Structure 1
Amino acid sequence: MRRHFLPLLLLATAAPAIAQTAPVISEQTLKDVTKELSSDAFEGRAPGTAGEEKTVAYLAKRFAAAGLQPGNRGSWYQDVPLVEITAKNVSPLVFKGAGAPISLAYGPQAVIGSYRVTPHVAVKDSPVVFVGYGIVAPEKGWNDYAGVDVRGKTVLILVNDPDWQTPGLDGPFGGRAMTYYGRWTYKFEEAARQGATAAIIIHQTEPAAYGWNVVQSSWTGAQQVAATKNDGADQSAAIGWIQHDAAQKLFAGKGLDLAALTAAAGRRGFRAVALPGTTASVSFDNTIRRHMSRNVVGVLPGTTRKDEYVLYTAHWDHLGHCEAAPDGDDICNGAIDNATGTAALVALAEANRRAGPTPRSQMFLAVTGEESGLLGSAYYAANPVVPLAQTVGGVNMDALSMAGPARNVVVVGKGKSELDGYLDRALAAQGRVATAEPTPEKGFYYRSDHFSLAKRGVPMLYFDAGDDLIAGGKAAGKAAAEDYEAHRYHGPKDEYDPDWNWSGVVQDVGIYYAVGRALAEGDAWPNWVAGDEFRAIRDKSRAGGGK
């Protein structure tokens, strides 16, 4: 999704006995599925395209060959209603007031879109207000919209949380660790609740966790949104991002210091600031196409507790055709992100089938629309094939690393659930350890499909591959992550490479196997730790049905 990479990505789980015999994870399966799904023939696997049709048919075929059964009442598929919106004829984003207008070009300086399903959007002479981080958090005594009415106005918003630069994890918003309040999805949700006509995020690479190239490639072209009864009428008319240097120029032209205002916005009691005499205007047409995308669902039935399910997830989608590279290549193939994780689903299905049935059932779920905001997993969580109270827990796989074997795995959300115990035992069998994420400010916990299930109470494990590589240590791990993000993430060069080193991936997929297998063979119901944000939801769900 938009969102998320440390090229060493993996997932974690809870704690009965770990299988003593290492599984045979097929490296050939991992290679074959990744190569096929990321070939140009699949056109970047965008939902609602011919690439989707090829993808879901191929996955159903591979699931069947792996020994799975159709998981949705006799079907391999779960329909997910989406709307594809493609902005056309996008005007520059123009800020007017005293002095010369500032005109920002679509793509290089600003990206604009809409969640509204409407053929034309026009924001004209909308007063501009800087609302800091755009957060309303009553439980923290924080309200960036206090004392200001932004109905009909354009709000400019900082990315991440107010305390993201804090060295440690102490602060009103978890210090260095991003909360959901820091995610761009939340910023737009809150702006809509406040009645803003347009909501624009000011991009900075460090707090956003990716460069402008990722914003531009992800937000231009066809965009997928969840189908709603009101066609997004309750959303802001326009949403988007602008470059930080453009925002600095805008503020300076109004006698305002963006750096000083950013510092003020990081303190409790900040009040929104109107840009004197400044208005924003932008217009564009939308090409609208309603379509049914699909999650792919396969099951290995259990024996004695077949109504209890262990879940494995990965997203099959990517960006399709995107901003072209200098050589003219405009297919975002998504080999790492996330043909690798989808391939791992197939390899895990094969390994579990060979090992024989488990008391609990195992579900393998390849979801759509992750890159558009976790749409497929959110739809499944709201419309589960199996009641969530019967879902024991699971693992999510997103963007596996080709950097080679590592001494550790990096757990995203370490300490949140009892699945950590399962992970620790699986790692111990490989002589490895779990470490906390070094960049919690990037908000990876909220940027992949495990989050859709977690926020509805299902314990899900998510980890990145290790950053302490056997060959080269942490310096090599950091270099590999930075190289991927700078040169391939969400771009046309995330392509299959026949020279990749798969040994680390095979090792990590073995961890997924051990964790999932322990859950499927055990009888425990792992929970979130006491006091975790998802604990009460899980407790209520379990009290209503199951053990």
Structure 2
Amino acid sequence: MRTSLLAIAAALALPMILTACATDGADAPPASASARPAAVEPSIDTMKRLVKELSSDAYEGRAPGSAGEEKTLALLAAEFGKLGLKPGNKGSWFQDVPLVEINAKNVSPLSFTGGKNAISATYGPEMVVGTYRTTQPKIAVKDSPVVFVGYGINAPEKGWNDYAGVDVKGKTVIILVNDPDYETPGLTGPFNGRAMTYYGRWTYKYEEAARQGAAAAIIVHDTVPAAYGWNVVQSSWTGAQHVADSADGNAGLSSAIGWIQKDKAAALFASAGLDLNAQMAAAKKPGFKAVPLGAVKASVSFDNDLRKHMSKNVVALLPGKTRPDDYVLYSAHWDHLGRCQAAPDGDDICNGAVDNATGTAALVALAEANVKAGPTDRSQVFLAVTAEESGLLGSAYYGSNPVFPFAQTVGGVNMDALSVAGLAKNVVVIGKGKSQLDAYLDRALGAQGRVATLEPTPEKGYYYRSDHFSFAKHGLPMLYFEGGEDLVTGGTTAGMAAAEDYTRNRYHGPKDEYDPNWDWTGVLADLKLYYTVGRDLATGSDWPNWVEGDEFRGIRDKDRAGK
């Protein structure tokens, strides 16, 4: 997961959380869904046992392609098998996902020459760099002209093109993170105001730079719009990286992609006679024109150890009793970062206990509860995907190669890092108001006396950072929520403190480890929500959709019309 469940409140930009918006009649709770409370309570003992196991050092951080993957796959297949579930992919528990592991070696500094002063950024503390190209053992960008392209956005439907009037083929582009109106107080603006669009995501920026022919694309790290500190960038982008394989080895993508610390970027701009802050302000305004950095040239080189391998998604099926060809989907990613930047004590295993051993264990706990409750009318699919931490690669592969057709998949829930901070009065819905699944959650919350709230920091772009997004792009409504920060014990003060502590000290680091002192009350309450929503979908006959006007509505309508 590129963000954390608790990092939602890390910036704490709003003094109070917005409460759930009323829905119109079209999005009212479906009449066909059962109003009964959950008959079976998911097991916290199962959760504790599996989270402790999956996040132990024996699993080495669950990196794709590692011994940790093999152990994870074997454990999940055994757990689902013991429950009586069926292998979901034509008699197999697994779906192959072709990946390439890339280890950058002998990384040179990222150097800029030709300006007033030579600027050099060292790998790790000041910059990170890598590649998506999967057949090149050596990458060398030498004396590449440098161009500042603002937010690196080309959005014809918005009348915005940061690349207008400039040719960046073979050049190095410097790009700002997020999108131009992320500091807007409200949710209206060319890019939805504070709420990040996909144009603000780093994945999009590299994609667009490649379309423009850039040799290298470097994003300027800025903690607030990025939603995480440099420590997260460094731990996530160093060590083994995993890239989706392709027939052409991703030859059409930029040779080098990476990030640079903001202070180094400021020094770079100063050497070109420019002020970074002034250029950042200009980039927020419509009509911004890309700025070549004069005679400045960029150079960087590194060797790559390349290894093709088949990682795997885990697919388990609980067949339905009367409509087995309708499917309800539960998803979570099983992977984490493996070995990463070591902590001061020398610990270099990113165990990923919260992120996302909790979500992975939840798949098993929910399957267990549903088996005990008895089969539903519709089939239920429990999907543990690989390589989320590498850019949602496992879920993206499933999205393009679904085992169960999306036209026959009703919807579902995605679980990415459950809250171990204690029971909260609220849950934060990522993408609230986008689909009719909100009504299912609202009813389940009502039975608990809790509420759904909007994201307090929509500028962070959480909607695009977990696996539900891969399915949404194919039209499938997926519900994704996280434990709230208004804790029953301690209120928002305690929730904020927990958020800051996790983000600073554990997120994407070696100290995201199992703690026997965790408070599991919030986990249990949220598991009950997942169970109830999934059970209602699986026992009902409705086909929830996106709300009218949503970006994914047309895809869903077309898919269902073909049925």
User: TM-score category by the smaller chain?
Assistant: over 0.9
Give CA-to-partner distance per residue, 1:465-523, whole Å, 9 cap, x none.
Answer: 11111011112112111110110000000000011111110110100000000000000
- Greater alpha carbon shift after TM alignment, 470-479 vs 397-406: 470-479
Equivalent residues of 1:8, 1:399 under 8 A apart? no
Moved more, 19-28 or 470-479: 19-28
Cα distance in 2, alignment partners of residues 361 and 8 from structure 1: 33
Distance 1:304 1:5 in 2: 37
1:157 is matched with: 175
Q: CA deviation at 1:26?
A: 0.5
Asked if the contact 2:8/2:455 (under 8 Å) is kept, the reply is no
The aligned residue for residue 322 of structure 2 is 304
Task: State the shift of 1:252 in Å.
Answer: 1.4
- Of 76, 83, 87 in structure 1, the residue corresponding to residue 93 of structure 2 is 76
Partner of 1:138: 156
Show the 5 A alignment for 1:283-294.
283-294=301-312
Cα deviations by residue, 1:83-111 (Å, 9 ceiling, x for unpaired): 00110000000000133311100000000
SS at match of 1:199: strand
Distance 1:251 1:22 in 2: 62
2:237 aligns with one of 219, 223, 226 = 219
Query: How far apart are 1:7 and its partner, in Å?
Result: 5.4
Note the alpha carbon deviations across 1:352-386, whole angstroms, 9 max, x for none: 00000100000000000000000000001110111
Out of 405, 428, 449, which is 2:446 matched to? 428
Give the root-mean-square deviation of aligned CA atoms. Answer: 1.3
Over 3 Å counting, the alpha-carbon distance change for 1:481 and 1:18 in structure 2 is: farther
The 1-side partners of 2:126 and 2:283 are apart by 24
Q: 1:402 corresponds to which letter in structure 2?
A: V
**Take 2:518 and 2:330, find their aligned partners in 1: how far apart are those partners?**
25
Q: Map 1:57-96; keep pairs closer than 5 Å.
A: 57-96=74-113
- C-alpha distance in 2 between matches for 1:63 and 1:441: 38
Cα distance in 2 for partners of 1:125, 1:161 equals 29
Distance 1:155 1:185, change over 3 A: same
Distance in 1 between the 2:338 and 2:141 partners?
29
Query: 1:405-438 CA deviation, whole Å, 9 max, x = no partner?
Result: 0111000000000000000000000001100010
| Alignment correspondent of 2:67 | 50
Unaligned runs of 5+ in 1: none
- Cα distance change of structure 1 residues 87 and 18 upon mapping to structure 2, 3 Å threshold: farther
For residue 531 of structure 2, the aligned residue among 513, 523, 531 is 513
Matching residue of 1:116? 133
Provide Cα deviations, 1:202-224, integer angstroms capped at 9, x if missing partner.
00011000000000000001100
- What is the aligned partner in structure 1 of residue 478 from structure 2? 460
Residue 28 of structure 1 is matched in structure 2 by 45
Q: Distance in 1 between matches of 2:213 and 2:406?
A: 34
1:476-487 correspondence to structure 2 within 5 Å: 476-487=494-505
SS at match of 1:371: coil
- In the alignment, is the contact (CA less than 8 A) between 1:412 and 1:437 conserved in 2? yes
Aligned mates of 2:545, 2:37 — CA distance in 1 = 24
Matched, 1:102 2:123: no
**How many angstroms does 1:276 deviate by?**
1.4
1:370 aligns with 2:388: yes
* 1:17, distance to aligned residue in structure 2 (A): 2.7
2:274 partner SS = coil
Cα distance between partner residues in 2 of 1:543 and 1:461: 22
Q: Note the C-alpha offset of 1:24.
A: 1.2
CA deviation profile, 1:43-97 (whole Å, cap 9, x unmatched): 0000001110000000101111222111111111111100001100000000001
- The answer for the alignment partner of 1:402 in structure 2 is 420
Q: Once the two structures are superposed, what CA deviation does each residue of 1:164-194 show, in whole Å capped at 9, x if it has no partner? A: 0001101000100000000000000000000
Q: Deviations over 1:21-52 (max 9, x none)?
A: 45311010000000000000000000001110
CA, structure 1 residues 360+412, in 2 after alignment: closer, same or farther (shift >3 Å)? same
Could you tell me which amino acid in structure 1 is paired with residue 471 of structure 2?
A: L
Distance 1:8 1:272, change over 3 A: closer
Q: Deviation digits for residues 434-482 of structure 1, max 9, x if unmatched?
A: 0001011111100000000001100000011111110111121121111
Aligned runs of 1:131-210 on 2, under 5 Å? 131-210=149-228
Secondary structure of residue in 1 paired with 2:501? helix
Looking at structure 2, the residues matched to 109 and 21 of structure 1 have their Cα atoms a distance apart, in angstroms, of: 51
Q: Helix, strand or coil: the match of 1:364? A: strand
How many Å separate the matches in 2 of 1:418 and 1:492? 38
Letter of the aligned partner of 2:386 in structure 1? T
Identical aligned residues as a percent:
71
The CA deviation at 1:4 is: 4.4
| CA distance 1:3–1:230, shift in 2 (3 Å) | farther
In the alignment, structure 2 segments of 5+ residues that lack a partner are: 10-19, 21-26
Distance in 2 of aligned mates of 1:349 and 1:369 = 22
User: TM-score w.r.t. structure 2 length?
Assistant: 0.95
CA distance in 2 between counterparts of 1:533 and 1:53 reads: 38
* Residues 40, 372 of structure 2: 8 Å contact kept: no
